[in-house]
Amino acid sequence: MESILPCSSDPAFEGDSLWGPLDAGCMQVDDPDYYFDSYGHFGIHEEMIKDSVRTDAYKHAILRNPHLFRDKVVLDVGCGTGILSYFALRAGARHVYGIDCANIVTYAQDIVKLNGFADKVTFIKGKVEEVTLPVEHVDIIISEWMGYFLLYESMLDTVLYARDKWLAADGLMFPDRARMFVAAVEDAKYKYDKIEFWADVYGVDMSVMRKVALLEPLVDSVDSQAIVSSVCPIMELNLQTMTMADIPFVSSYKLHMNKKDFVHALVTWFEVGFLHCHRPITLSTSPKFKQTHWKQTIFYLDNAQPVNTGEVLEGSIAVRPNVVNHRELDVKISYRLQGEHPLNSCQFYRIR
């Protein structure tokens, strides 16, 4: 994929005032217990396991490549119920270590005994940054770390910490690549249902809520037929070599309109790749493919933007962990269009 460069030509994204004043009323104290407690409930693991796009991608990446796993020591970061650990065992791993801070790991330990793998799997309850492994190095790290908008929940930080601490010099990351994309969508009905309806709620003007509703992107499934532009990559990560400094990013985008319509929002999605495989495998959350539990993330414009075929909507997008709650994300997007209906605006969003 073509290298994605920071946008240095957008005045709204230059200098020390990139982010500017943010609404302190929207900030919350970081509560790590709440985060880990949410993953202690079986329901969220049921949803993830039943996501066949997600689970089959990991299953195929591991089981179709036994030459990579045979007699290897594997670390499963954020192991949950341990399903990825079992795939590694079936692929021939010598031993698997799984780490999870949520209470679900106690059930994973029972599942190990129930299935007769107690001598080949060791599940450890605790934070990756605080636990000790009985081995100095591991050969492979597997993890399903992706959140909404790829980076929400900041689990990637933990995966990189584990990589730097335990992965052997020639070790492998599963997955090892990640990319994010953006496109423009026509979404009038949903925008009305979620944003504009505040103007008249049973005869009461609640339009002050509109600003709050616009601030939070919507996580939902987008009909691929609603996309009215080209698709643009905005970020790419190599998990083998990246550092935590690569997680906050600023990137430019350019979207060519393919029809005369209205643009109500930008929609983003991601894919991760298992490029070490004999035949590379991609897990995609694109609206053009089968839905996953990640769905897509939708950023609504303040007002509907009329566009014509061939016009170009461009701008910049900046993403960083929230300064108060590092698992949340601050997003700043600029919008520019020169055409029959010019546009030049900038909006802040918070993913939480």
C-alpha pair distances (Å), 12 with each of 43, 78, 335: 42, 38, 10
Residue 28's pLDDT is 45
Q: What is the pTM of this model?
A: 0.89
Task: Count how many residues are written for the chain.
Answer: 352
Number of structural domains (the chain) is 1
C-alpha pair distances (Å), 86 with each of 81, 173, 335, 339: 10, 17, 46, 55
- Concatenated DSSP letters of 77-105: ET-TT-HHHHHHHHTT-SEEEEEESSTHH
Position 230 in a domain: yes
Position 23 in a domain: no
Position 259 in a domain: yes
Residue 17's pLDDT is 61
Position 134 in a domain: yes
Percent helix / strand / coil, the chain, rounded to 5: 25, 35, 40
Query: Phi, psi (5° rounding) for residue 306?
Result: -70, 140
Return the number of other C-beta atoms located less than 10 Å from residue 214's C-beta: 18
Q: Which helix (H) or strand (E) holds 69?
A: helix 66-69
Catalytic residue from among 136, 153, 186, 311:
153
Residue 45's pLDDT is 67
Does 153 qualify as catalytic in the annotation? yes
Residue 13's pLDDT is 67
Position 300 in a domain: yes
Residue 154's pLDDT is 80
Q: 123-148: buried (b, 16+ CB within 10 Å) or exposed (e) per residue?
A: bbbeebeeeebeeeebbbbbbbbbbb
C-alpha pair distances (Å), 82 with each of 56, 123, 144, 172: 15, 8, 11, 19
Query: Phi, psi (5° rounding) for residue 39?
Result: -90, 0
Q: Which residues are within 8 A (CB) of 288 and not within 5 positions of it... i.e. 6 or more apart? A: 224
Does 216 qualify as catalytic in the annotation? no
Q: Which residues are within 8 A (CB) of 299 and not within 5 positions of it... i.e. 6 or more apart? A: 217, 265, 266, 267, 268, 331, 333, 347, 349
CATH, residue 41: 2.70.160.11
Evaluate whether 242 touches 300 at the Cβ level (below 8 Å): no
Position 154 in a domain: yes
Residue 275's pLDDT is 97
Position 18 in a domain: no
Residue 10's pLDDT is 72
Catalytic residue from among 47, 129, 136, 144:
144
From CA 304, how far away is CA 319, in angstroms rounded?
Answer: 23
Domain residues for the domain of 278 are: 29-351
- For the chain, 352 residues long, the average pLDDT of each consecutive 10-residue run is 47 64 45 46 76 97 98 97 95 97 90 92 96 97 97 93 98 98 94 90 93 92 97 98 96 98 98 96 97 97 96 98 91 96 96 92
From CA 285, how far away is CA 49, in angstroms rounded?
Answer: 16
Position 190 in a domain: yes
From CA 149, how far away is CA 217, in angstroms rounded?
Answer: 10
From CA 334, how far away is CA 276, in angstroms rounded?
Answer: 36
Residue 47's pLDDT is 87
From CA 43, how far away is CA 51, in angstroms rounded?
Answer: 12
